Chains A and B, each alone.
Chain A
Amino acid sequence: MTQLILFNVFNGLIVGAFYALMALGLSLILNLSGVINFAHGGFLALGAYFAYALIPYVGFWGALVLSPILTGVVGLVVERLLIRPLYGRDPLYGLLLTFGLAYMLEDGVKYVWGPQSLPFEAPTWLMSSLSNDYFFLTGYRLFMILIVVVAVAGLFGVLGYTRLGMRIRAGTRDLETVSTLGVNTRLLRSLNFGLGVYFAGLAGVLAAGQLGLEPTIGDGLIMPSFVAIIVGGLGSLVGTLFGGLLIGVVSGLTTVFWPAASEAVIYVMMGLVLLLRPRGLLGEEGRIV
């Protein structure tokens, strides 16, 4: 039994890392723009399909690099045209708009590539197990962890050490002051949105290797991302990271004892956090969007 539990904790961390990747993108957008991007799952699907389309031309590694960038660009365009006019208005409208956008992305992808599952060929040498005893540690999962680590490190690097990152962090605290200091906040928000969507696209490429590639691929992944943010704490990226890992582990462990509850348990966790510590485990006091 202990072996089983250990396996599931470890595996949960792997799955959680993936959730964290999604959630970080969502968190970036939420923190700076105050928009709950319901379309995040749709962008994930877009990233997966772009990768599928690019592989014949640039191979898997090329697709891994290019697809998220392409998705991020689509995100930029969406922000500029649709989301920008909503800033300053009731958050209801941002929610509704991204909700509708989610429908459009899913159906758009279905229109272009069809409803049937498409075979996504990741490199074979990745797709095998590395050790007999720890067979669940496949090359692909390790690769996923590596990518997540690199991406997260890159994100925190950008946020901590570049001008753009500094502005994003400052804007999260007080956008108005940042604007009066001469920063083009409209451009800043666009870039931030694009960055958040980039992460969704990256998650999409990774997901396509593990899951069936079809238009609803993003559906089941958006809600755990929200939960990760709420549990970790609104406004805190480290919190989001932690939240993602936590729900991955909790969900994995629940599957051992009570599989039917493995999804509901993360919402129960979310409810508990909201009631007992509404700012989230690592969130800052008063940071309510």
Chain B
Amino acid sequence: MPNETLAPVVDRRTFVKTALAVGAATVASPYIIPARAADVVKLGMANPLTGTYAAFGKNESIGCQLAVEEINAKGGILGRQAQLIIEDSTSGDAGTAVQKSRKLIDSDHVNFLLGNVNSALALAMAGVSNEKGVLHIDPGGHTDAVTGKSCHWNVFRVCNTTAMEANAVASALVKSYGKKFYYITPDYAYGHTVEAGLITAIKKLGGERIGGDLAPLGTVDFSSYLIKAQAAKPDVILFLVAGNDLINALKQAVQFGLDKKFHLAGALMELEVLEGLPTEARIGTWLLEWYWNQPNVPHLDAFVAGIKKKTGRVPTARHWFGYVGGWTCALGAEKAKSLKALDIAKALQDFALPPEVALGPNKAYYRANQNQLLDTIYVGLAKAKGSAPDDLFDVKTLVNGADVAISGTLEESGCKMTWPT
């Protein structure tokens, strides 16, 4: 019987030693970075590029890349070229997110930190950026704490708070569908706050919560929750789960024919999710944080074209988050005429994005002492097919996030910002 293992042609020891030497040389040499010219402004983004949130993280990084390219085309930041360094934070490993943040700050000496899609990682990174005094923009991490009870002077957020989401969509839900609501909520901080916000907002409009369930994150089979929902006989079943969980839940709900008996709706929806659903499951009332197909918005076509050129597809809200993140850094620095984080943070208080960055009908600005971007929220209906292949959402109402009825007061946000002296 022939020998099963391959008889080596070269002596294995020599082979290994050579390979190790070559490998060490290739690994070590890029580490030995030649002294770089000091006139580059660096933005460091640590976002998920692998795992469940990979699609979102990738899209945000592309948006930010576009912003940096445009910034450089217009002369850079304070006359210096801008450079974007992207690291993979993974979708859930806080240790890696923190490690990458430290790497970007300590080793790459970035002037700005951006991230993270995952709320928990965003908080962890905020801890690092605050400790090191680096300006930090959170493009798409939704947990309220980032601009709420864990707010920091150096951390700014682009995407909405749960209060904004809940208040924006509540009236559309009650007006269109009825008064009795059943909630399917993801069992973690974000889910709890969205649900609480919706319950309050809906109650004010005369609706009520007749039942609900907390589904663990990553639930694959929603049948038990859907069975209970059906037994409760609501007017609307609200799906507050996000991402893949939402795809699973909606797919199964439609298979069960629940869309024929009740209305299915929810709060936050994303274009990536709509694209991942089969056509018959693209239904319901939702809100989008930004949408590409808006009429009469100047500069929007240029942005859509820019993203299409890079990726072959239309931008999603995630692309826009990254884009705003990048531009906020540049514009803040220009306004402050400085690269010092404290100066830029002060310059960004109540800072309104110019129309070519805001890309929406209403004003978009960072509320002072909260660092939260208040902008337009797009409430509407998901649709199976639209005028263009990616037109999967019918915007019915444009809600102004700056309206206190939507954003809540500064008090309510829980943010007590302290500034370094």
Contacts and interface: CB of A to CB of B under 8 A. Distances in A.
B247 A211 contact: yes
Interface in A199-228: 210-216, 220-221
A255 B275 CA distance: 29
A210 B252 contact: yes
B256 A136 contact: yes
Interface in A248-275: 252, 255-256, 259-260, 262-263
A259 B187 contact: yes
Given A117-B276, A259-B214, A259-B215, A84 B220 contact: no
Nearest to A186: B4
Interface in B209-227: 213-216, 218, 220-221, 223-227
Nearest to B273: A117
A110 B53 CA distance: 12
B186 to A, nearest CB: 11
Interface stretch (B199-207, B277-285, B348-356): B277-285
**Candidate in B55, B218, B254 with the most chain A CB atoms within 10 angstroms:** B55
A120 B248 CA distance: 12
A213 B279 CA distance: 14
Given A8-B224, A211-B220, A118 B276 contact: yes
A237 interface: no
Nearest to B230: A135
Contact of B279 (A121, A256, A259): A121
A138 B276 contact: no
Given A138-B255, A210-B251, A119 B279 contact: yes
A212 B278 contact: no
Nearest to A256: B224
Contacts of B273: 117
B275 A85 contact: no
Chain B contact surface mostly: helix
The 7 closest A-B pairs by CB, nearest first: A117-B276, A115-B54, A212-B247, A129-B257, A116-B55, A255-B224, A138-B255
Contacts of B187: 259-260
Contacts of B230: 135
Interface in A96-116: 107, 110, 114-116
B218 A119 contact: no
B5 to A, nearest CB: 6
A139 B280 CA distance: 15
Nearest to B49: A115
Interface in B110-143: none
A66 interface: no
Nearest to A135: B256
Contacts of B227: 4, 7-8, 11, 136
Interface in A135-187: 135-136, 138-141
B201 to A, nearest CB: 25
Contacts of A116: 55, 272, 275-276
Contacts of A215: 54
A288 B264 CA distance: 50
A116 to B, nearest CB: 4
B50 A110 contact: yes
A73 interface: no
Nearest to A140: B255
Contacts of A124: 280
B42 interface: no
Given A115-B58, A119-B278, A211-B220, 4 more contacts: A3-B231, A117-B272, A211-B248, A212-B251
B278 A255 contact: no
B55 A262 contact: no
Contacts of B218: 220
A122 interface: yes
Contacts of B248: 210-212
Contacts of B225: 255, 259
A11 B226 CA distance: 11
A114 B216 contact: no
B4 A84 contact: yes
B228 interface: yes
B258 interface: yes
A124 B255 CA distance: 9
A174 B132 CA distance: 64
Nearest to B54: A115
B244 A212 contact: yes
A127 interface: yes
Contact of B54 (A3, A84, A110, A122): A110
Contact of B223 (A85, A114, A136): A136
5 contacts: A3-B231, A8-B227, A212-B247, A220-B218, A252-B224
A60 to B, nearest CB: 12
Contacts of A7: 227
Nearest to B52: A216
A15 interface: yes
Contact of B276 (A15, A214, A216, A256): A214
B256 A138 contact: yes
A118 B277 CA distance: 7
A262 B251 contact: no
Given A110-B54, A260-B216, A214 B244 contact: yes
Nearest to A138: B255
Contacts of A121: 278-279
Interface in B47-64: 49-52, 54-55, 58
